[in-house]
Structure 1
Amino acid sequence: MRRPRCAAALFALLTLGACTDMSDTGRRTATGALGGAALGGIAGSFSGNAGWGALIGAGVGAGAGLLYDRSQQPPSYGSGGTYRGNEPAY
């Protein structure tokens, strides 16, 4: 019984340690997927299929995390547009 607990703790430590070099986009997407999988697994357990609930929740959570990341980034202006920043209009 002690060996699986140590293995699970080591796995969790290594998994969380891998997030240190991630970009903000990757971190927010992964956090959304993890939270979605947890909530989806809980909701799916009520209907008798926690695996499908976690799978669907992970997909929805990853999408939500990505959308949140995009909303937090400054707007980017294309190179072909007429935006010139703070230059005066003549």
Structure 2
Amino acid sequence: MKRVLAFVAILSVASVVGCTSMTPQQQGTVSGAAIGAAAGAGIAAISGGSGWTGAAVGAVAGGVIGNIKGKQH
């Protein structure tokens, strides 16, 4: 589980650093995926599920929502 959280933390930092030349839609997608992965891993850890599966599902859901939100700007 610690490896999952470390991966999510690295993904979050990389998404913030790399967002300077992105469109709002791309920023929303990356940010949403990072937040979703963190939330998914956390929820999976609390519920006793697989952290990797939770992070993957959360990343996909967050990326889709972030893409839609970024498109509206």
TM-score normalised per structure 2: 0.71
**Structure with bigger gyration radius:** 1
Structure 2 unaligned blocks of 5 or more: 1-8
How many matched pairs?
61
Q: Retained in 1: the 8 A contact 2:27–2:70?
A: no
- The residue number in structure 2 matching 1:29 is 29
**Counterpart position of 2:38:** 38
**Runs (5+) with no aligned partner, structure 1:** 1-7, 74-90
RMSD: 2.1
Deviation at 1:69, TM superposition (A): 2.0
Task: Percent identity, please.
Answer: 31
Alignment of 1:69-84 (within 5 A): 69-70=70-71, 72-73=72-73
Judging by fraction of residues, say which structure has more helix: 2
Give the aligned partner of residue 53 of structure 1.
54
TM-score normalised over the length of structure 1: 0.59
